[in-house]
Amino acid sequence: MKTKLLFVMALAATMVAHAEINPFFNYKNWKTPRSTYPFNEIKTSDYMPAFEEGMRQGLAEIDAIVNNPKAPTFANTIEAYEKSGQLLSVVASCFYNLTSAETNDELQQLEMELSPKMSEYSSTIRLNEKLFQRIKAVYDQRDKLKLTKEQQKMLQDIYDGFANNGANLSAEDKLTYKELSAKLSRLTLQYGQNVLKATNAWTMLISDEAVLAGLNDDTKKMLAQNAERKGMKGWLLDLKPTTYIPVMQDCDNRDVRRELYTAYNSRCIGGEFDNTQVIVEIVNTRLAIAKLFGKDCYADKSLYKSMAKNKENVYKLLDEMRDAYMPVAHQEAEELQQYAKEHGLYAQLQPWDWSYYSKKLKNEKYAISDDLLRPYFELENVKKGVFGLAKRLYGLTFKENKNIQVYNPEVSAYEVYDAKGNYIAVYYCDFHPRDGKRGGAWMNDFRPQWKEGRKNNRPHIVNVMNFTRPTDDKPALLTYDEVRTFLHEFGHGLHGMLTQCQYASMSGTNVPRDFVELPSQFNENFIDEKEFLDTFAKHYITGESLPQELLDKMHASQNYHAAYACARQLSFGYLDMAWHTLTSPFEVPAGLSVEEAVLKFGNKAMETVQLMPIVSGTQMETAFTHIFSGGYAAGYYSYKWSELLDADAFSVFKAAAKKNGSIFDKKAADAFRTNILERGGTEDPMELYKRFRGGEPTIDAILERDGIKAIIVNK
C-alpha cells in the first residue's frame, strides 16, 4: 500500500513538473493579454504530449457522459458533449494554424504522426454506440424540450453529425468506416504536403536581366532578393504567387512565361511529389465511405447540410451561369486572340499568353494597370482603410498590442473594440509569403467565441495572406487584386469577430460551405466604391488621393474579362463535382498511365467551359488543395453560390446609397451584422439571409454587376 502511494505521489509530481514545462497544460492560467497563445514558450516537443493528454482527457469526458446514471438531458448529454475536449481543441488550434502558416520539416513529420492518432480519436467518439444512444434519446424528445433556436440547431447538427459519421452503421461497417476515415485523413494530408513541397522545390535562376524585360523594377528587386537569400547571383524565380502573377502578366519573354506556367501547372504530376495516384485513392476512399451510408456518390453524402442541398441544385447553378457567361467569354477570347495577332503573336493564344495580353489590352482600353495603382495601395494605408471600413459599418476599432505574442515576427496582433469601447476580439494579420507558409490566403481562429454563464469568451481571429513584400527602398505596394483579397479575408474575419453565439460549435464561420463565403465576398464589393477608396488610397510618397481619372478608369474596367473569370471558377466547380459524383470507383483505363488517366478525366470535366488550348502534361487538379486537402470536396461551387448571394446582398447597400448618398449605410450594415455576421450557424442559412434581405436571392444582381445583363439586352 505504501509503495503504491509513493508511486502515485511520484507520478503526480512528474505531471506537475511536466505541466510547468508544457504551456498547453496550463492554458486556463495563461498570463498573456486576453489569454492569447504564449508562442514564445511553445516548443515543438510540447505538441505530442499535449495532443496525447488532450485525447486522454477528451475520451474521459466522453466516458463520463456515457456512464452518467441520470437520464439523458440536453444539459448532461448535448452541452456536456459540446464542452468536451477543450485541451485538445487548444493544442490543435495552435498546431494546425502553424502547419499552414509557419511549418517546417519537424512539424510536417509530426503532422503525419498525429494524423492516424487524431483519426482514431475522432472515430472512437463518433462510433461510440452508448454516446449516440444518449444523444438520440434527447433528439427523440426534442419537440417536448423548451430549447432556444440555437439549441435546437445544435441538437440537430450533433445528431446528424453522428448519424452521418457512422453511428447507425452495423458493427462491421463501423470498423470499415473507421479504417476508411483514417486512410482518407492520411491521404489528404499527404496531398497537401506534396503541393507545398513541390511548390518550394522549383526555382529558376535568371542570370541575364534582359530576359526579364517587361517586369517592373520592384518585381526584379524582389527576384534579386530571392536569389540573394539563397546565396546566388541573379534573379530567382519561384512558384509563389508574388512571383508567378507578375511574371505571367508582365514578362515579355514568352519562353519564360511558358516555362513558369508549365512548372506551376505540372506540380505533383509524377516525380517525387506525385499526387495523381493520391487523387485516385482519395476519391475512391470518399466514394467507399458514401457507399457505406447508402449514397450513390460522395456529393450525395456531403451536400446534406449545404444551402444547395443536393448535386442537382449545384449543377443547376453551374449550368445556369455557364449558359449566361460562356457566349460573352468566347467573345472575350476572340478579341484577345485578335489583339495578340495585331501585336505579333500569329500562333494560337496559349494559357501562358492570356494574362500577358489581357493586361496589355486592358491597359490600352482603359489606360489602367497595377503599376499605376500600386503607389496608392501601400500596405499600411490599405490596412487603415480596411479597419476603417469596419468602423464605419460596425463601429469597430483596432488597437495594436505588441505585448501579444506572435508566431512569426512579421505577424501583427490587435485588440478589437466595439463602438461602446467593449472588447470584441483579438485579430492577427500575417501578410507576406515564406517558405513555411502555404500559398493562398485564408482566415481561421485560434480561439472561437462562446458563452459560459455571464462570461462571453471572445474569439482570436487570424488572417493569413501572401502579398507583395516591401523592397529595400519601397514599402509593400499592393496590387488591386491583393487589396480585394485582403477585403475578402477580412470579411471572413468579421464573421469570426462579431459572432454572438452561446456555443463554440455554432459560432463564427461554423456554417455551410456555400454560406461561409457570403461575408467575405460581400466585403470585396467596397473596393469599387469611391467613398471607400477616398478613405485610404493615398500615394505613398506624395500623399495624393487616388485621382478621379484613375477611379473612372477603374470603374470602366471593373467588368473587364468578367466572363472569363467566371468560366475559370466554373471549371473548378465542374472538376470538383465530376470527381465527387462518381458512382463507381475510378479505374485507370487500359493503355493509360495513372497520370494520363487523371489528366484526361480533369480535361473532360472542364471541357464545356474551356477557353484555352489544353497543354499536354499540365492540369491544376494535382495541386487543387481546396478539394483534395482543404475541406471543399463537392463544395467548390460554393464560391459562385456565395457570389450570387453577395451581389444580391450588396444591392441593398447600393440602393441605400442612391437614397441616402452614402455606401456606408448604417441601417443596412446593422441588418447584415445582426442577421448574418452575429448568428453563425445557429439557424438555417437561407432563413438568416431572407431575414436580412426580405426574400431569396436571384441571379439578376450578379448578372448586372458583371455587365452580362447589359450585353444580353444589347444583343
Answer for the pair 469, 433: CB distance below 8 angstroms, yes or no: yes
Residues 579 and 420: their CA atoms lie apart, in Å, by: 50
* Half-sphere exposure at residue 553, Cβ-oriented, CA atoms within 13 angstroms: 17
688: confidence class by pLDDT, cuts 50, 70, 90: very high
CA 693 to chain centre: 25
Question: Can you give the pTM of this predicted structure?
Answer: 0.82
Q: What is the arithmetic mean of pLDDT over 170-195?
A: 94
1: confidence class by pLDDT, cuts 50, 70, 90: very low
Task: Give catalytic status of residue 489 as yes or no.
Answer: yes
713: confidence class by pLDDT, cuts 50, 70, 90: low
Directed axis angle between helix 149-163 and helix 129-140, to 10°? 140
pLDDT above 80 (res 14): no
Residues 467 and 433: their CA atoms lie apart, in Å, by: 7
Domains of the chain, by residue range, sit at 2-126+128-168, 203-265, 374-561+640-714
Q: What is the arithmetic mean of pLDDT over 101-120?
A: 94
CA 650 to chain centre: 22
Domain 2-126+128-168 has CATH 3.40.50.2000: no
Q: What is the arithmetic mean of pLDDT over 360-384?
A: 93
Contacts of residue 606, Cβ cutoff 8 Å, sequence gap at least 6 = 571, 574, 575
* Half-sphere exposure at residue 160, Cβ-oriented, CA atoms within 13 angstroms: 12
Using one digit for the tens of pLDDT, what is the confidence trace for 16-64?
444 468 999 999 999 999 999 999 999 999 999 999 999 999 999 999 9
Q: What is the arithmetic mean of pLDDT over 159-177?
A: 91
Q: What percent of the chain has pLDDT above 70?
A: 97
Catalytic residue among 150, 489, 529, 595: 489
Residue 473, SS3? coil
> What is the DSSP code (8-state) at residue 72?
P
Cα dist from 713 to 560, 606, 663, whole Å = 18, 28, 27
Using one digit for the tens of pLDDT, what is the confidence trace for 659-671?
999 999 999 999 9
> What is the DSSP code (8-state) at residue 416?
E
Cα dist from 211 to 235, 248, 347, whole Å = 10, 13, 21
479: confidence class by pLDDT, cuts 50, 70, 90: very high
Q: What is the pLDDT of residue 350?
A: 97
- Our separate counts of H helices and E strands in the chain read 29, 9
Q: What is the pLDDT of residue 714?
A: 60
> What is the DSSP code (8-state) at residue 537?
-
pLDDT above 90 (res 8): no
DSSP structure string for 275-326: -HHHHHHHHHHHHHHHHHTT-SSHHHHHGGGSSS-SHHHHHHHHHHHHHHHH
186: amino acid identity, one letter: R
Tell me what the pLDDT averaged over the chain comes to: 93
Closest CA to 444 of 487, 489, 409: 489
Using one digit for the tens of pLDDT, what is the confidence trace for 622-675?
999 999 998 899 999 998 998 999 999 999 999 999 999 999 999 999 999 999
Residues 383 and 537: their CA atoms lie apart, in Å, by: 10
Grid coordinates representing 332 are 472575350
236: left (phi over 0), alpha (psi -120 to 50) or beta: beta
> What is the DSSP code (8-state) at residue 677?
I
Cα dist from 127 to 133, 160, 185, 319, whole Å = 11, 13, 17, 39
Answer for the pair 599, 266: CB distance below 8 angstroms, yes or no: no
pLDDT above 50 (res 5): no
Grid coordinates representing 689 are 439571409
Give the DSSP H or E segment for 57: helix 44-66
Which phi and psi (to 5°) does residue 378 adopt? -70, 135
Closest CA to 127 of 182, 74, 170, 84: 170
Residues 333 and 160: their CA atoms lie apart, in Å, by: 46
pLDDT above 50 (res 9): no
pLDDT above 90 (res 558): no
In total, the chain counts a number of residues equal to 715
Closest CA to 62 of 152, 128, 159: 128
Contacts of residue 504, Cβ cutoff 8 Å, sequence gap at least 6 = 82, 448, 449, 450
Cα dist from 173 to 132, 400, 592, whole Å = 16, 52, 34
Cα dist from 588 to 270, 276, 585, 593, 600, whole Å = 15, 11, 10, 7, 10
Q: What is the pLDDT of residue 460?
A: 98
Q: Choose the weakest-confidence range: 333-337, 399-403, 527-531.
A: 527-531
Burial 601-628 (b: 16+ CB within 10 A, else e): bbeebbeebebbeeeeebbbbbbbbebb
Answer for the pair 455, 504: CB distance below 8 angstroms, yes or no: no
Return the CATH fold of 374-561+640-714: Neurolysin; domain 3 (1.10.1370)
Residues 503 and 681: their CA atoms lie apart, in Å, by: 10
* Half-sphere exposure at residue 692, Cβ-oriented, CA atoms within 13 angstroms: 28
Answer for the pair 74, 68: CB distance below 8 angstroms, yes or no: no
- Beta-ladder partners of 462: 428, 444
Contacts of residue 514, Cβ cutoff 8 Å, sequence gap at least 6 = 306, 307, 308, 635, 637, 638, 641, 642
Q: What is the arithmetic mean of pLDDT over 575-581?
A: 98
Residues 14 and 27: their CA atoms lie apart, in Å, by: 18
pLDDT above 70 (res 712): no
Q: 3-state DSSP: the chain helix, strand, coil percent, rounded to 5?
A: 60, 5, 30
Closest CA to 570 of 313, 297, 305, 317: 317
Q: What is the pLDDT of residue 19?
A: 47
Handedness of CA 53, 63, 161, 175 (dihedral sign): positive
Give the DSSP H or E segment for 480: helix 480-497
Q: What is the pLDDT of residue 602?
A: 97
pLDDT above 70 (res 216): yes
Residues 525 and 488: their CA atoms lie apart, in Å, by: 9
Burial 207-244 (b: 16+ CB within 10 A, else e): eeeebbebbeebbbbbbbebbeeeeeebbbbbbbbbbb
Which phi and psi (to 5°) does residue 464 adopt? -120, 130
Strand pairing of 423-430 and 442-447?
A: unpaired
pLDDT above 80 (res 384): yes
Residues 339 and 357: their CA atoms lie apart, in Å, by: 8
Q: What is the 3-state secondary structure (H, E, C) of 113-145?
A: HHHHHHHHHHHHHHCCHHHHHHHHHHHHCHHHC
Q: Choose the weakest-confidence range: 260-264, 437-441, 570-574.
A: 437-441
